[in-house]
C-alpha cells in the first residue's frame, strides 16, 4: 500500500477551529439520534489503538464505535506489542500507516502523541496523555449542551481538584467555547503553567479562566461542577500523600449549596468515592454521569467519521 493523504489529527482542542469542533458536536448529536444511518460510514476501515495506560471507557467506546460505523478497531497493549519493547514510535507510526486508516494512542508524555502524528500518514487521535484528555472534555461539552440546551457562552463552570490532564483540557475548552472556568487546586498542583500563560495572553474566545485555592470560591454560582481523581495514572506512588494534599477538594452536598440551583455535576470516571466526590453526590448525579460516559461513544464516532471518512 502506498502512502496515504496527510490527515488532520485530534491531539489538542486548541489546535482545532471552533467551527470544526462545532461540526463534530453537531454530527455527534445526529449519530446519537440515528446511529443506523451511519452504519456503513467507515466500512472497511481500521483503527489501531495503542494503550500504554489502562482504560475502560476509551477502549470500549472506540472499539464499539468503529464496529457500529462498519469498521474495526485493533487493540494494541504496549505490553504485548513491540511498542513496549522499545520500537520507536517513529517506526510504529509508519508501519501502522501502511495497515490502518487511523491511530488512537493513550500514553504518558504528550510529546509521544505529537511524534506519532508527525510520522503517521493517517489521522492520530489523542486518547489521553499526562497533559491532555481532549476526547473526554469534548464529550463533556456535548453533554452540557445536550443537558442544558443552551449555548455555553458565559456559562459558569467549576473544576475542583488536581490541575491535571482534565483541568488542562477544560482550559482549552473554556477558550474555545467562551465559558467562565474557575479551577480550585491546592498550591503546587495548578494546571500547566505554559497553558495558563497562554490564557493570560489570549482572552479572544471570551472565556475567562481563573485558578483559586478555595473550592467554595470556584463553586460559587457554578452551573456545572466537575472533578477528577486526585492521583492520575502514573501517580500511584503519590496516592497517599495526595490524599492529604487534596483533602477538602471534594464535590459534596455542602459545596453544592453555594452553586447555582440545578447545577450539573460531571465526572469523567473512574470515580473514587469519599475522595474527589462523595458517594451521596455521585449517586444523586449518577444518571447524568453515566450519560456523560455513554456520550464518549457518540462524540468519538463523530470524530472518527470526520477524520477517517471519505
Ligand atoms: N474517562 C476515561 O477516559 O476513562 P477510561 O480511563 O476508562 O478510558
Ligand atoms: N486524570 C485521570 C483521568 C482518567 C480518565 C488520569 O489521567 O488517570
Closest CA to 165 of 122, 210, 128, 204: 128
Nearest ligand to the CA atom of 269: 1
Percent of the chain with pLDDT over 90: 93
Tell whether the model's pLDDT for residue 2 goes beyond 50.
Answer: no
What is the tens place of the pLDDT at every residue in 251-304? Answer: 999 999 999 999 999 999 999 999 999 999 999 999 999 999 999 999 999 999
Sheet with 264-267, edge to edge strand ranges: 208-212, 180-184, 156-160, 224-227, 264-267
Q: pTM for this one?
A: 0.96
**Which are the contacts of 287, defined by CB distance < 8 A and separation ≥ 6?**
none
**Which are the contacts of 250, defined by CB distance < 8 A and separation ≥ 6?**
160, 215, 227, 275, 276, 277, 278
d(C-alpha 300, C-alpha 284), whole Å? 27
**Which mutation among 129, 135, 229 tests ligand 2's pocket best, with the greatest number of atoms within 8 A of CB?**
229
Closest CA to 145 of 13, 270, 33, 264: 264
The yes-or-no answer on residue 298 being catalytic is no
Name all domains of the chain by residue range, CATH numbers in brackets.
13-132+296-308 (3.40.50.1370), 136-292 (3.40.50.1370)
Torsion angle defined by CA atoms of residues 113, 118, 123 and 126, in that order, rounded to the nearest 10 degrees: 10
What is the tens place of the pLDDT at every residue in 66-113? Answer: 999 999 999 999 999 999 999 999 999 999 999 999 999 999 999 999
**Which mutation among 268, 272, 289 tests ligand 2's pocket best, with the greatest number of atoms within 8 A of CB?**
268
181 Cα to the center of ligand 1, angstroms: 22
The yes-or-no answer on residue 243 being catalytic is no
Catalytic residue among 59, 135, 223, 268: 268
* Ligand 2 atom 1: residue of nearest CA: 232
Nearest ligand to the CA atom of 294: 1
* Average pLDDT of the segment spanning 58-68: 98
Catalytic residue among 59, 242, 296, 298: 296
Give the cell for residue 237: 506512588
Catalytic residue among 68, 136, 176, 300: 136
Helices (H), 120-220: 134-148, 165-177, 193-201, 215-219
Q: What are phi and psi of 77, to 5 degrees?
A: -75, 135
Nearest ligand to the CA atom of 54: 1
| Lowest-confidence pick of 105-114, 153-162, 191-200, 217-226 | 191-200
Tell whether the model's pLDDT for residue 45 goes beyond 90.
Answer: yes
Amino acid at each position: 500500500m502506498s502512502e496515504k493523504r496527510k490527515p488532520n489529527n485530534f491531539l489538542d482542542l486548541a489546535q482545532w477551529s471552533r467551527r470544526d469542533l462545532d461540526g463534530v458536536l453537531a454530527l455527534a448529536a445526529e449519530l446519537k439520534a440515528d446511529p443506523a444511518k451511519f452504519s456503513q460510514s467507515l466500512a472497511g476501515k481500521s483503527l489501531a489503538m495503542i494503550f500504554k495506560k489502562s482504560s475502560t471507557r476509551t477502549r470500549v467506546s472506540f472499539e464499539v464505535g468503529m464496529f457500529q460505523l462498519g469498521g474495526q478497531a485493533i487493540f494494541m497493549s504496549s505490553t504485548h506489542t513491540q511498542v513496549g519493547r522499545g520500537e520507536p514510535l517513529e517506526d510504529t507510526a509508519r508501519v501502522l500507516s501502511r495497515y490502518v486508516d487511523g491511530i488512537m494512542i493513550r500514553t504518558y508524555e504528550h510529546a509521544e502523541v505529537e511524534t506519532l502524528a508527525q510520522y503517521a500518514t493517517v489521522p492520530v487521535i489523542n486518547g489521553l496523555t499526562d497533559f491532555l484528555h481532549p476526547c473526554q472534555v469534548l464529550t463533556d461539552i456535548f453533554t452540557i449542551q445536550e443537558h442544558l440546551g443552551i449555548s455555553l457562552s458565559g456559562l459558569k463552570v467549576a473544576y475542583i481538584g488536581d490541575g491535571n490532564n482534565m483541568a488542562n483540557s477544560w482550559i482549552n475548552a473554556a477558550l474555545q467555547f467562551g465559558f467562565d472556568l474557575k479551577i480550585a487546586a491546592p498550591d503546587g498542583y495548578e494546571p500547566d503553567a505554559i497553558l495558563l500563560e497562554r490564557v493570560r495572553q489570549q482572552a479572544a474566545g471570551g472565556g475567562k479562566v481563573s485558578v483559586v485555592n478555595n473550592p467554595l470560591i470556584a463553586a460559587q454560582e457554578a452551573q456545572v461542577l466537575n472533578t477528577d481523581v486526585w492521583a492520575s495514572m502514573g501517580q500511584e506512588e503519590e496516592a497517599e500523600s495526595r490524599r492529604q494534599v487534596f483533602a477538602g477538594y471534594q464535590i459534596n452536598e455542602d459545596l453544592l449549596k453555594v452553586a447555582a440551583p440545578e447545577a450539573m455535576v460531571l465526572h469523567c470516571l473512574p470515580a473514587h468515592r469519599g475522595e474527589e466526590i462523595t458517594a451521596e453526590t455521585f449517586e444523586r448525579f449518577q444518571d447524568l454521569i453515566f450519560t456523560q460516559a455513554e456520550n464518549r461513544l457518540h462524540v468519538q464516532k463523530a470524530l472518527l467519521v470526520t477524520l477517517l471518512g471519505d
